[in-house]
Amino acid sequence: MKKRLLLTVLAGLLALPLLIGQAHAQIRIGLMAPLTGSWASEGQAMKQIVDLLAEELNNAGGVLGQKVEIVAEDDAGDPRTAALAAQRLSTRGIVAVIGTYGSSITEASQNIYDENKIVQVATGSTAIRLSEKGLRYFFRTSPRDDEQGLVAATTLKDMGFGKVAILHDNTTYAKGLADEAQALLKDSDVEIVFFDALTPGERDYSAILSQLRARAPEVVLFTGYFPEAGLLLRQKKGMGWDVPFIGGDATNNPDLVSIAGKEAAESFMFLSPPVPQDLDSPEATSFMAAYRAKYNDDPASVWAVLAGDAFNVIVAAIKGSGSTEPDKIAEYLRTGLTDFEGLTGTIAFDDKGDRVGELYRVYKVDGEGRFILQP
């Protein structure tokens, strides 16, 4: 009796690979995201969105007559874990991978995917060097830091500011953006009266604000993240200093307003890719409706939505090239995909795999603490 049970179990175990092999007939798309760690909220939102889009696609019949399966792997927002995640995903028969959020995390996985001939579409990694390496299978739906720097510089010039202070926080992203903006502003007649970094994670920035005020800038460009931006706004108001602040896309987070308070946050401006709430394309509206129906909330972060766009372009490339061959998918993304209507606007890629077109918009915080898209 016992023997028979054992045999059944063994037979079951032997049949398992066959069953998995069956599932293999589906098209597998990988998702590498920070599901734990300090960026966990971003990663979990990425997974929610990609899951939703895959479910919609499968209900509509899938692509090339096959269903799509999402294989998610956690990179914990850490380069070493990301390298492991990339190794693991590479062995699981995926045709393409979505992800990931941080630039240094993406960098740790790039070569692994490239060697394994897997198309990678990054979603939140904005560092310039990622696409300057000439990797054939690398794409990203997020913009690059130099584009943001350009938009920052043009916005400051267009608004007619003559004396600009630039403050960053010494992280790769913030320093890079500050350098880009500074270089672009130097060529014009804008005077940069201040360029330095604060230490993130502290609570009191009044010493920095005092020093900034002594230089009498007409506007302050802060390229760091939202927690520090919120404190700066709050303490600036506390000292009764009335100077406009402009932030980079890392300040696009509703927590900015709760930290600064509505009064202090009012009329703060920042640059960011548009959130789908602000787009009226049919793709964006139907996505928003589906997201609300499933998760009973609006997607908080634009970076998670860019993961949805990564999924959409991969599917479009499989459909368009009629194949799951990595070379054909990459080729189609580079040349065949034009004016694709994504969730965050029109998508096309240039030769390096960077997204083409102007993605950045200017947002302004109103008296109620809402982020209002500026015309």
Using CB under 8 A, list all residues that contact another protein: 38, 40-41, 170, 196-199, 201-204, 206-208, 210-211, 214, 227, 230-231, 234-235, 237-240, 255, 258-259, 261-263
For residue 199, the minimal CB distance to another protein (Å) is: 6
In DSSP terms, 71 is beta-bridged to 30
For residue 288, the minimal CB distance to another protein (Å) is: 23
Do β-strands 340-342 and 68-74 pair in parallel, antiparallel, or remain unpaired?
A: unpaired
Our CB check for another protein shows the closer of 230 and 342 to be 230
Do β-strands 361-365 and 371-373 pair in parallel, antiparallel, or remain unpaired?
A: antiparallel
| Dist. CA 54–CA 56, nearest whole Å | 5
- Write out the two tokens for 236: 């600036």
- CB neighbourhood size of 56 (10 A): 13
Our CB check for another protein shows the closer of 187 and 204 to be 204
For residue 263, the minimal CB distance to another protein (Å) is: 8
Our CB check for another protein shows the closer of 115 and 263 to be 263
Q: For residue 299, which amino acid is it?
A: P
For residue 19, the minimal CB distance to another protein (Å) is: 37
In DSSP terms, 270 is beta-bridged to 247, 363
| Dist. CA 16–CA 279, nearest whole Å | 46
Our CB check for another protein shows the closer of 197 and 373 to be 197
For residue 42, the minimal CB distance to another protein (Å) is: 12
Is residue 324 reached through a cis peptide bond, with omega within 30 degrees of 0 on the bond before it?
no
Our CB check for another protein shows the closer of 154 and 172 to be 172
Answer for the pair 167, 196: CB distance below 8 angstroms, yes or no.
yes
For residue 33, the minimal CB distance to another protein (Å) is: 16
Angle at 127 between CA 194 and CA 45, to 5 degrees: 110
- Write out the two tokens for 319: 């459909």
Our CB check for another protein shows the closer of 3 and 203 to be 203
Q: For residue 346, which amino acid is it?
A: T
Our CB check for another protein shows the closer of 63 and 304 to be 304
Our CB check for another protein shows the closer of 235 and 272 to be 235
Of the candidates 31, 26, 48, 49, the one whose C-alpha atom is nearest the C-alpha of residue 309 is 49
Grouping H, G, I as helix, E, B as strand and the rest as coil, residue 260 is helix
| Dist. CA 375–CA 353, nearest whole Å | 29
For residue 209, the minimal CB distance to another protein (Å) is: 9
Of the candidates 113, 134, 117, the one whose C-alpha atom is nearest the C-alpha of residue 31 is 113
For residue 224, the minimal CB distance to another protein (Å) is: 12
Answer for the pair 337, 314: CB distance below 8 angstroms, yes or no.
no
